[in-house]
Amino acid sequence: MTDNNKSAVTYFIADLHLTESRPDITACFMKFIANEAPKAEKLYILGDFFETWVGDDDDSPYLKTIADALTGLNKSGTEIYFIHGNRDFLIGKRYAKKASMILLPEIDTIDLYGQHVVIMHGDTLCTRDLDYQEFRKKSRSWWWQTMIKSLPLCVRKKIAANYRKKSAAATAIKKQEIMDVTESEVIDCLEQYHSQLLIHGHTHRPAIHNIVANNAKAQRIVLGDWYEQGAWLKVTPDSMELLNQPLG
Ligand SMILES: [Mn+2]
């Protein structure tokens, strides 16, 4: 699918939290899709692309606009890959197809210009957030998802809104370090996958961390959220850069 007109550039984004109630973030994303993303041969979306997701049967015009923008990008020759976040883990094959995205497993490894890289949303690294990890386990189970999907769309929307309220209140009182990754999980993960580079989002703490894993230099790159600016990681065969653009 890769076109000859695309250069050796790969972009990574996460935590846009797209929602109709944030037209500024949506406009920033549309600008990114129109001006920036077409330069890349591949775009990886590492979760929490949407603020919430209640099911692929939500046929709102807003979600269609986003899908159409991604499809236009894909038609220009940019491959689009998606890993679920903790907000949009219910995105399924139907919407992925509409948006021309390829769904990847929750932890995946890719060849990034010769480097073996682990990519993920990042919520699984926050093992000290016990309440969340318990919810995560439940909400990824077959029985929970079957039960949720059997409810009418309007009920699911209400449940999601309630959950977000409760989660925001809980997050506000959780200690900062609980909300960040557990360093030993990062090292274990890089060792398990025999990799020296991990790219993830979720914590909203954009940075390139130099660490040690597999007894050698390694890096953990954290993508930025889009609450106050557009943010992406640009990777070429010889550079890695976290970039921004203003909202709106
Ligand atoms: Mn997240």
**Residue found under tokens 């030993």:** 184
The predicted structure's pLDDT at residue 169: 87
Q: What value does the mean pLDDT take over residues 54-68?
A: 96
Chain-centre distance for alpha carbon 123? 10
* Distance of CA 30 from the midpoint of ligand 1 (Å): 21
* Distance of CA 83 from the midpoint of ligand 1 (Å): 11
Contacts of 90 (CB under 8 A, 6+ apart): 53, 54, 55, 56, 145, 148, 149
Please state the domain extents for the chain: 10-246
The predicted structure's pLDDT at residue 248: 67
The predicted structure's pLDDT at residue 177: 77
Reading the block at residue 56, the tokens are: 């692929």
| Residue 81, CA distances (Å) to 17, 60, 134 in order | 17, 22, 27
Alpha carbons within 13 A on the beta-carbon side of 36: 20
DSSP per residue over 181-216, as a string? PPHHHHHHHHHHTT-SEEEE-SS---EEEEEEETTE
CATH of 10-246, one of 3.40.462.10, 3.60.21.10, 3.40.50.300, 3.40.120.10: 3.60.21.10
* Distance of CA 102 from the midpoint of ligand 1 (Å): 19
Residue pair 126/52 in contact by the 8 Å Cβ criterion: no
* Distance of CA 50 from the midpoint of ligand 1 (Å): 10
The predicted structure's pLDDT at residue 222: 98
* Distance of CA 137 from the midpoint of ligand 1 (Å): 15
Q: What is the separation, in whole angstroms, between the first and last Cα of the chain?
A: 31
**% the chain with pLDDT above 90:** 90
pLDDT digits (tens, 9 = 90+) for 72-114: 999 999 999 999 999 999 999 999 999 999 999 999 999 999 9
Q: What is the band of 191 on the pLDDT scale with cuts at 50, 70, 90? A: very high
Is residue 118 over pLDDT 70? yes
What is this structure's pTM? Answer: 0.95
